[in-house]
Chains A and B, each alone.
Chain A
């Protein structure tokens, strides 16, 4: 399923601290790749690669503005990624409450 490959890319993209940091910046405002590159102790090319991983995962989009490439965050995809494990977590919280109920009945 195309959708699920997308989810794999999202999890991979979010597994890196630099990429999460980039995402945190661009989610509110657009940042040019060069402005982002100045914030990290790594090459422009390395930052560009991180942005490309985020872009393939659908977490950010790039927009050309003059000579600059401006990166924007895509909130919808991020929301979905964070939701998946969170939903399973909620299932387990529900199960723990269920176990409590079962245990409570014989006290």
Chain B
């Protein structure tokens, strides 16, 4: 398992995930930089992502959509606030309407991704800062049925003394 650690902060609405990969930071950086690689892993199960635009630089924007099993398209966008290859990446990730226009009803997620050399590989840390439960629910709606199993396990965490 390459996921080393996951921390949920229900009060601050953050999720921090630490993962390790058997490839150097410059290579792991490419899976974010190259839209063809990015769309192979960004979408939830059964909701593959397609990036129409991917301006991977500070101030740059991306436009993408994810296609559900019944053909429904869920549109999203990125706005990069910091791009420091191959160490650090910060961006906002929000929802868009069917024409790709950002929605202002649901606040974007702010993500901070860091890449550190760990032996011959890379330790990648993703900190997601959520701003509302609306947004969490929207994300959770898309093809995440197996999340339920995990949620059941978390109840035990919450309940244990």
Q: Which residues of A contact B (CB under 8 A)?
A: 1, 3-4, 7-8, 11-12, 14-15, 20-21, 23-24, 27, 75, 78-79, 81-103, 107
Contact of B136 among A15, A21, A85 (CB under 8 A): A85
B31 touches A103 (CB 8 A): yes
In angstroms, Cα B158 to Cα A27, docked, is: 11
Say whether B134 contacts A82, CB under 8 Å. Answer: no
B residues engaging A (CB < 8 A)?
A: 2-3, 6, 8, 10-11, 13, 15, 17, 19, 21-23, 27-28, 31, 37, 40-42, 44-45, 126, 128, 130, 132-134, 136-137, 139-140, 144, 146-148, 150-155, 157-161
Residue from A23, A75, A78, A102 whose CB has the most chain B CB atoms within 10 Å: A102
Are B144 and A92 within 8 A (Cβ)? no
Q: Is the interface of A mostly helix, strand, loop or mixed?
A: helix
- Which B residues touch A95, using CB under 8 A? 41-42
Q: In the complex, given contacts A11-B11, A79-B151, what are 17 additional A-B residue pairs having Cβ atoms less than 8 angstroms apart? A: A14-B10, A23-B158, A82-B151, A83-B151, A84-B133, A86-B150, A86-B153, A87-B148, A88-B15, A89-B8, A90-B144, A92-B3, A92-B17, A93-B3, A99-B31, A101-B41, A107-B23
> What total count of A-B pairs have CB within 8 Å?
131
Q: Which residue of A lies closest to B142 (CB)?
A: A91
Interchain CB contact under 8 A, B28 and A87: no
Residues of chain A within 8 A (CB-CB) of B150 are 86-87, 89-90
Q: How far is the CA of A74 from the CA of B17 in the complex (A)?
A: 30
Contact A87 B140 (CB under 8 A): yes
CA distance A82 to B155 in the complex (A): 6
Task: With A23-B159, A79-B152, A92-B126 as known contacts, state yes or no: A85 contacts B8, CB within 8 Å.
Answer: yes
29 contacts between A and B (CB under 8 A): A1-B134, A4-B133, A7-B133, A7-B137, A8-B133, A11-B13, A24-B160, A78-B155, A79-B155, A85-B8, A85-B13, A86-B153, A86-B154, A87-B150, A88-B136, A88-B140, A89-B6, A90-B150, A91-B139, A93-B3, A93-B6, A94-B44, A95-B41, A96-B2, A96-B17, A98-B41, A100-B21, A103-B21, A103-B31
